Structure 1
Amino acid sequence: MNYTENYKGIKIDVQAPQVDLPDGVQAQIRKAIDKLSRFTNSINAIDLYFNISGTGKTAERILGMRVGVPGPDVFSEERGKDRWNTMLRAVTDKNIRQLQKDK
């Protein structure tokens, strides 16, 4: 599942090769953007990458998020066996901490 959309003037690019994302993930992505927007109003783009590495019991989910802002972009990644929504909240919180440091 790959898609691009414009949400509140922010370009969202989601790459999820070989991953079927649950229906609620798009809504969670919008909530994450709303949360990030409270800490900076200069977000140009959000790039998300969902992937699964390995198979069977060794499968690991990987979620990366790049927040495009003026100056250096912020990026975080989460790896593990958690649900996508849990991992999305974790990378959002990591990016918020980076945005707060840059202020």
Structure 2
Amino acid sequence: MNFTENYKGIKIDVQSVNIEINAAVQEEIRSSIDKLSKFTQNINAVDVYFKTEGSGGNAASVVGMRVGIPGPDVFAEEKGEHWIPLLKEVVDKLVRQLKKAK
């Protein structure tokens, strides 16, 4: 499932391979962008990637997020079990990168 959305002037591009992204995860993506916007006002685009690595009992969920800002983009990725906690961890990593870039 892939979808593109314009949220508060920021282009959001979500890509997921054979994974259905529900409304709760979509809302968490929007609130993540709100949180990131507190640290930089110049976000042009956000790309979010959802995928599953491995199979069966060894499967791991992976979330990656690229934030397009003037200068080098920031990117973070996290592996785990559940989408929303992974998204929060990725956003925390991105916030640290944005603070360091200031």
TM-score range normalised by the length of the shorter chain: over 0.9
Q: CA RMSD in A?
A: 0.7
- 1:1-103 to structure 2, matched below 5 A, reads 1-81=1-81, 83-103=82-102
How many residues matched? Answer: 102
TM-score when normalising by structure 2 = 0.97
CA distance in 2, matches of 1:61, 1:91: 13
Misfit runs of 4+, over 3 Å: none
Query: How far apart in 1 are the matches of 2:100 and 2:35?
Result: 16
Cα distance, 1:55 vs structure 2: 1.1
CA deviation profile, 1:49-98 (whole Å, cap 9, x unmatched) = 000011111101110000000000000000122x1000000000100000
* Structure 2: runs of 5+ lacking an equivalent: none
**Within 2, Cα distance between the matches of 1:22 and 1:3?**
12
Q: Distance in 2 between matches of 1:80 and 1:87?
A: 7
Unaligned runs of at least 5 residues, structure 1: none
- In the TM superposition, residue 23 of structure 1 has moved relative to its aligned partner by 2.5
Cα distance in 1 for partners of 2:46, 2:23 equals 19
- Identity over aligned pairs, percent: 57
Distance in 2 (CA, whole Å) between partners of 1:69 and 1:63 is 19
**Residue deviations 1:36-56 (CA, integer Å, cap 9, x gap):** 000000000000000001111
